[in-house]
Structure 1
Amino acid sequence: MPRTCSLLLGLALSVPVAAVAGCPPDRVCAEDFLRRNDPPDGRLPFRIYVPPACQAARDCPLLLFLHGLGESGTDNAAQLGNAANGAMQLVYPARQAVQPMIMVAPQCCLGEGGQWGGQKNRLIDLLEQVHAEFPYDTGRIYLTGLSMGGGGALDLIGTYNGTFAAIVPVCPHTGYTAGDAAWATTPSWFFHAVDDGTAIVAHSRNHVAALRAAGGDPRYTEFASGNHWIWTYSYASERLFRWLIGQRLGMPAAATEPFVRITAPTAGPVWTSDTPTFDAAGTAGPVAAAIASVRWFLGGQDGTAAGTSDWSVAGLGPVSGTQVLRVQARGASDDAGLGGWTETSASLRVTVPVAVNVVPRVFVRGDAVARAGGRLDLRARVIDDGLPAPGALAVSWTVEQAPAGAVLVVDAADTRHAVIDAAPPGLYRVRADASDGALAGSFVRQVLVLPSGTPPPVAIAINAGGGAYTAADGSPYQADQYHYGSSEASTASGPGAIFGSDDDALHHDYRISYGTWGYRLPVAEGRYFVELHFAETYNPCNTAACRVQDVRLQGVPVLERFSAFALAGQRSALRFGFVTEPVDGLIEIALARSGGQGERSRLDAIRVLRLDGLDELLFSDGFEP
């Protein structure tokens, strides 16, 4: 985008912070935002609004807002001008009463070309910094940006495609879609004006088309007027706010207004049959959305459904193998002055002949090693085929082992999320079960909570594929050794921020192999807690099927058909822990590609902690393992 044009827009629309004389009670103003990392700090400067309801709570969502080029600078203020060009409306008091939310507004740019694309590592570090000061719900990080910031938001989610629960790009300045497929199922809502003379409307149209082609159901509002100045009107939408706060990481998109639903042949995500043709029907609305048309797409076929609020299509197909039916409903935009339309969609995966239902695969994310008094944040990730129709999954939790006083609380709004607050020291075994109504799978998450102030009792730690390294908590990792089998060290990920890790360097190097390989670690007799570190940082590995592996500990399967990308996307850390004992003075960790297919199996680091010396500290409350 031309800098002179953007600067003029920024100057015309931004109100100097010093000019604001008192904040109206129905608003949030720049003076309500705390200042962090003011230049010349060396880190990305940002402002943060923490509503009173979020200052002590740990369950608030976070909104990350990326400004346009006209607000770039070093004053840590311009990005909040004109109520952050309308984005502050998402945290105005009336909306805080519905859902308190933290808002973070960094200011670009520090080096690297003067664009948000050069700030991705700093933005991830910023999210970690905020979480350390104001813990937020990491399953509800919402990303938005306008113009240059809209393009920056798309660039960021393309690199960290498993981090954000939803994205709202407003008139993005780029139509580059190469990375869109990796995050296609993340809920998204694009806004653009057809007459935008700065960032052409084709940018948003291209992204929406690419996401749909990859199996996503993005929402798209295209205003009939407004040019490049639509952001205030976009963020004013009450429907946008309600949609945004309903999204949760790893969950299907929340079906808020406006909506289109498929109810036949099933209301679930998958339909399988031996009959190659089928009828479809559903609903669209509400009435206020003024739905004017419902169109359908199946393979290379498309057409217009009969009806709108109640729609139907007869004789779809024939289908052979697996195809996706997508239904798109188009109604009025939320701004009568700008005109235009909003389009929402729903999809159904159709398979002919009948597919066999498979057991849901369950994994649980969270810390493997934690400190007493903190929160254990557990998130179940269920990988399922959507069968049998209508494909409703039920997730439940069971505490198999925990110290006295530990209380597991399941999130009522998302049963895949559970927490233990003020966790006492000790060993935990928490099982997550997932049932599709016919078959069920489970995963047991093991966690070691160390007493506060106790150094990690490291018996041995290995930086797989890398050199010696001292972790943030003081744990000494040795240079790569003790591995066996045909494998190689790799540094293909290069330097970069890893979300969810205090030790990014452990993921910059790793060991990989096409064959069966692993580590045999020499330790004394006793009981140990083995922590395994993973992340997916290899750019071409951007699908759940790319790197799928099996991991065994002392010959026993502990992670089966495990995909780091499927659980966390790219550049997010995963840690799993398991209690074990050595055999003949060795702890063996074996890895192999599942079914001998796909990209090489990978391990980033290993840490082995002694349990025997901790018994008095861990079990002083009388609890026995």
Structure 2
Amino acid sequence: MKFLASWGVSLLLLSCTNMKGQDLSAYQKKVFEKNGQTMPYRILLPKDYDSSQKYPLLLFLHGSGERGDNNKSQLVHGSSLFLKDEVREKYKAIVVFPQCAANSSWAKVDSEGRYPNREFIFYEDPEPTKDMILLENLLKNLKQSYKVDENRIYVGGLSMGGMGTFELVRRNPKMFAAAFPICGGANPLISKKLAKPDWWVFHGDEDQVVPEKYSAGMVKAMKKIDIDVKYSVYPGIGHNSWDNAFAEPELLAWVFSKSR
């Protein structure tokens, strides 16, 4: 998937800068294994975790710049939000950041042309990537290992992870209560399989890496069939619209208010 490699380097440099000064040790290091394949992930349990209680589960999918096997880079964007004391007190949830392997992706997406005139090709019913299969099995394992409130499972992601958010919901249309893809996209023809969760989609209108039209196209198709979807477009913002999304004062209240 050449398009992922082409913009991974610059995002990785940004990631390394953003990692400095953060204490992420509360996120436990784990590795999921299935049929000889592995997926590193980090898990944040609620304060005063009680194994007899059910908790919501929030899954966050990183972008291409955070791929690898160091079980650290996936925490660059978004993880600090869930570490805030006020967030951990108010929203007691299990938060999981899996890591996609290098040169792989959450969803099968191709491209034509070169930056900044590259066009993405999103498929209606693609074969799952290796990491998507691992991700789905990880979710099953999490539900077996922890008492998860299956009416309150959430997924979000940025860039490649925004694309993965659409794909994961498409493949598991009854699992999630809410989804929040950031600067992603998908094939509008999959909208009929996205009706169960509530959606909040984010994008910057100056994004030249993943143009805003890909989120706009999804939102238009989803609204056409009366899916509950909010859309926040940030004027003058490029690819890093995740900063704006994470700063939305109502984001977490919105997410954790949703139930199937």
TM range (shorter): 0.7 to 0.9
Q: Is the aligned partner of 1:31 residue 2:25? A: yes
Structure 1 residue 125, shift from structure 2 partner? 1.2
- Work out the CA distance in 1 between the residues paired with 2:38 and 2:157: 20
**What is the Cα deviation at residue 120 of structure 1?**
2.5
Written as runs of structure 1 = structure 2, the 5 A alignment for 1:541-552 is: none
**Corresponding residue for 1:94?**
86
Q: Distance in 1 between matches of 2:18 and 2:197?
A: 35
Q: Which one-letter code corresponds to 2:31 in the other structure?
A: N
1:87 to partner: Cα distance = 4.5
Matching residue's letter, 1:31:
S
Alignment-mate amino acid for residue 11 of structure 1: L
Deviation at 1:122, TM superposition (A): 1.4
SS of aligned partner of 1:140: strand
- Render the CA deviation track for 1:484-535: whole Å, top value 9, x for unaligned: xxxxxxxxxxxxxxxxxxxxxxxxxxxxxxxxxxxxxxxxxxxxxxxxxxxx
With structure 1 as the length reference, what TM-score do the two structures score? 0.36
| Structure 1 position 57, deviation (Å) | 4.5
Q: Does 1:76 align with 2:71?
A: yes
Instruction: Check conservation: 2:174, 2:196, Cα contact below 8 A.
Output: no
Match of 1:125 among 115, 124, 137: 137
Give, in whole Å, the separation in 1 of the partners of 2:73 and 2:32: 13
- CA root-mean-square deviation: 2.2
1:10 corresponds to which of 12, 24, 39:
12
Q: List per-residue Cα deviations over 1:410-457 (Å, max 9, x = no partner).
A: xxxxxxxxxxxxxxxxxxxxxxxxxxxxxxxxxxxxxxxxxxxxxxxx
The one-character-per-residue Cα deviations of 1:212-245 (angstroms, maximum 9, x if unpaired) are 1122120000000220012122112121111111
For the Cα contact (< 8 Å) 1:184–1:212, is it kept in 2? Answer: no
How far does residue 39 in structure 1 lie from its aligned partner after superposition? 8.4
Unaligned runs of 5+ in 2: 108-128
- Structure 1 pair 209–90 and aligned structure 2 pair: CA distance change class (3 A): farther
Q: Is residue 42 of structure 1 aligned with residue 31 of structure 2?
A: no
Among candidates 89, 96, 100, match of residue 108 of structure 1: 100
1:150-206 Cα shifts (integer Å, max 9, x gaps) = 00110110111000110000000x341221112224200000011001000001101
Deviation at 1:128, TM superposition (A): 1.9
Question: What is the correspondence of 1:365-384 to structure 2 with a 5 Å cutoff?
Answer: none
Which residue does 1:244 correspond to in 2? 255
Q: 1:205 aligns with which of 204, 208, 216?
A: 216
Match in the other structure for 2:236: 225
Residues 87-144 of structure 1, C-alpha deviation per residue, up to 9 Å, x if partnerless? Answer: 541452211221211110111027xx71112122211211122223322211111100
Map 1:487-502 to 2 at 5 A. none
Q: Distance in 2 between matches of 1:218 and 1:156?
A: 17
Amino acid at match of 1:203: Y
SS of structure 1 residue aligned to 2:90: coil
AA matched with 1:116:
W
For these two proteins, the number of residue pairs brought into alignment is: 235
Structure 1 residues 73 and 150, CA gap change in structure 2 (3 angstroms):
same
Would the aligned equivalents of 1:188 and 1:219 in 2 still touch at CA under 8 Å?
A: yes
Q: Distance in 2 between matches of 1:16 and 1:206?
A: 31
Quote the Cα distance in structure 2 between the aligned partners of 1:175 and 1:116.
12
Aligned 1:548-587 pairs, distance under 5 A: none
Question: 1:139: which partner in 2?
Answer: 151
Flag the 1:2–1:106 CA change in 2: closer, same or farther, 3 A.
closer
How do 1:259-338 and structure 2 match up within 5 A?
A: none
Equivalent residues of 1:38, 1:76 under 8 A apart? no
2-side partners of 1:87 and 1:170: how far apart?
Answer: 15
In the alignment, residue 248 of structure 1 is paired with which amino acid? S
- Which aligned pairs between 1:387-398 and structure 2 lie closer than 5 A? none
d(CA) in 2 for partners of 1:175, 1:98: 33
**Contact 2:15–2:73 (Cα < 8 Å) also in 1:** no
Judge conservation of contact 2:15–2:65 (CA < 8 Å) in 1. no
- TM-score (normalised: structure 2): 0.83
Residue identity opposite 1:149 in structure 2: G
CA distance in 1, matches of 2:147, 2:132: 21
Q: Is the 8 A contact 2:177 2:197 kept in 1?
A: yes
Instruction: State the alpha-carbon separation in 2 of the partners of residues 116 and 89 from structure 1.
Output: 23
Distance 1:49 1:240 in 2: 19
More RCO (CA 8 Å, sep 6+): 2
- Contact (CA 8 Å) 1:61, 1:101: kept in 2 or not? yes
Tell me if structure 1 keeps the 8 A contact 2:47–2:89: no
User: Counterparts in 2 of 1:468-507, with a 5 A limit?
Assistant: none
Task: Please tell me whether residue 151 in structure 1 is matched to residue 155 in structure 2.
Answer: no
Tell me which structure has the larger Cα radius of gyration.
1
Question: What one-letter code is carried by the residue in structure 1 that aligns with 2:104?
Answer: G
Residue 168 of structure 1 is matched in structure 2 by: 180
Displacement of 1:16: 7.9
- Residue 56 of structure 1 and its aligned partner are, at CA, apart by 2.6
- After superposition, give the CA deviation of every residue in 1:344-363 in whole Å (9 maximum; x if it has no partner): xxxxxxxxxxxxxxxxxxxx
Superposed displacement of residue 38, structure 1: 6.9
What residue number does 2:203 align with? Answer: 192
Aligned residue identity for 2:86: A
2:15, 2:66 within 8 Å by CA — same for their partners in 1? no
Report whether the alignment pairs 1:67 with 2:62: yes
Distance in 2 (alpha carbons) for counterparts of 1:87 and 1:168: 15
Counterparts of 2:239 and 2:156 in 1: how far apart (Å)?
16
Greater helix content:
2
Residue 77 of structure 1 and its aligned partner are, at CA, apart by 1.1
| Identical pairs, percent | 26
Amino acid at match of 2:8: S
Residues 2 and 132 of structure 1: is their aligned pair in 2 closer, same or farther, counting only changes over 3 Å? closer
Give the match for residue 180 of structure 1.
191
8 Å contact from structure 2 (residues 60, 157) kept in 1: yes
